[in-house]
A and B are shown apart, each in its own frame.
Chain A
Amino acid sequence: ETGVTQSPTHLIKTRGQQVTLRCSSQSGHNTVSWYQQALGQGPQFIFQYYREEENGRGNFPPRFSGLQFPNYSSELNVNALELDDSALYLCASSLGFEQYFGPGTRLTVT
């Protein structure tokens, strides 16, 4: 059974650019959640996708958007990058209430 995978591992972008992060969910899991973990903080919920539909959203602006595909993999898109977007972005897949996390993508905005 394959766990949750994320790509890329690290990414450096310039302020104002756009970025796409990718996540492959664990086999059989139909729900994907995205979290932002700033340095020294706990993860903050961005949004969740269930069967290709956004199922809920945290306190993040619309320039954070996402997609879920028929195979339940997912993308997180961030437009107009700001310096404060520098963080570890975590993807978690679930079938019930237990969420299983990927290794994360470290995004640095300069």
Chain B
Amino acid sequence: AQSVTQLDSQVPVFEEAPVELRCNYSSSVSVYLFWYVQYPNQGLQLLLKYLSGSTLVESINGFEAEFNKSQTSFHLRKPSVHISDTAEYFCAASDRGSTLGRLYFGRGTQLTVWP
């Protein structure tokens, strides 16, 4: 089983500033890692994923996350945020060796971008 910790429940930033949303996972077994975004009154949208290969993964809208095995982290970053990035962000992990594909989620980080 996994435990996912999102270290910040709320992150307020000004538009065009850089942002980092922190995520740590618990298990020493191999994992798949995901970031999902949730806009108000909507479901979850997959933002980016790490399955294998390059430890740096990118989304189409400028977010990136780096898988750090030694620190068991998968922090999400964006060099310059927009007001439209305001949303709840969830980090999730899945055990690589499991056929179940169950996702373990963190509690979420509310990113609020101010003009």
Contacts and interface: CB of A to CB of B under 8 A. Distances in A.
Contact residues of A: prevailing secondary structure: strand
A102 B36 CA distance: 13
B108 A42 contact: yes
Contact of B32 (A48, A97, A104): A97
A90 B43 contact: yes
Contact of A100 (B6, B46, B105): B46
Contacts, number: 63
Interface string B55-82: 0000000000000000000000000000
Nearest to B106: A42
B43 A94 contact: no
A41 B108 contact: yes
B102 A104 contact: no
Given A45-B103, A92-B103, 7 more contacts: A35-B105, A43-B44, A55-B100, A97-B32, A97-B101, A101-B44, A101-B45
